[in-house]
A and B are shown apart, each in its own frame.
Chain A
């Protein structure tokens, strides 16, 4: 069965510093996709970044990068130069090989301190 694990329920980071949010996954599929979403206190789900299982380079989107270590089955999100507006819940998600199901981790709440 597929599983996503986010082991950090909450994290603090100082404004302008970088932070890494951990995500490990378990799947027997060879083809799969990994996503990170942000959920601010207003409740909407905001897509941040995507990594395909066959992508050889780590994905980057502005201040977000995904540290993809396939052998270790990890897909950590790195946020550089944290901003106060980055305070939110962050979810790691995995789409299965058939594309039918996307499952989510329990999330990490990030607090950015001024």
Chain B
């Protein structure tokens, strides 16, 4: 059982380039989310989805787009990368919005914007 799979694990971009971070889960979870982790700031919620076709903004959505066409996949798009988006990105999922179950996290994508 793979759980939550993020690709790529590492990426270096130039300012202004676009990029899609992939996230897939095989647990049939309805709820998925994206976080960024910066030193000293913990994890901050970027976007989340409560099911296929439904997405909403988190704490820091600016500069990021998401879509949820299937239950399994929740890609995060950077349309025009900026150095401020250098961070470690985590995708997470849990069974549904109301579950008391914890989120399952992917291993993260380390992204550097030059």
Contacts and interface: CB of A to CB of B under 8 A. Distances in A.
Interface stretch (B21-29, B36-44, B73-81): B36-44
Interface of A: 4, 6, 9, 33, 35, 37, 43-45, 47, 50, 52, 91, 93, 98-107
How many interface residues does chain B have, given as a range? 20 to 34
A35 B97 contact: no
B88 A100 contact: no
B99 interface: yes
A58 to B, nearest CB: 16
A35 B102 contact: yes
Contact of B97 (A45, A98, A107): A98
Contacts, number: 53
B105 A44 contact: yes
Nearest to B40: A106
A106 B42 contact: yes
B97 A50 contact: no
Contacts of A93: 43
9 contacts: A43-B108, A91-B43, A98-B97, A99-B31, A99-B97, A100-B48, A100-B56, A103-B59, A104-B44
B103 A102 contact: yes
Interface string B25-68: 00000010101000011111100101000001011000000000
A17 to B, nearest CB: 26
**Which 10 A/B pairs are nearest by Cβ-Cβ distance?**
A99-B97, A47-B102, A45-B105, A104-B42, A104-B43, A106-B42, A99-B98, A107-B42, A105-B42, A43-B108
B99 A101 contact: no
Nearest to B103: A102
Contacts of B44: 103-104
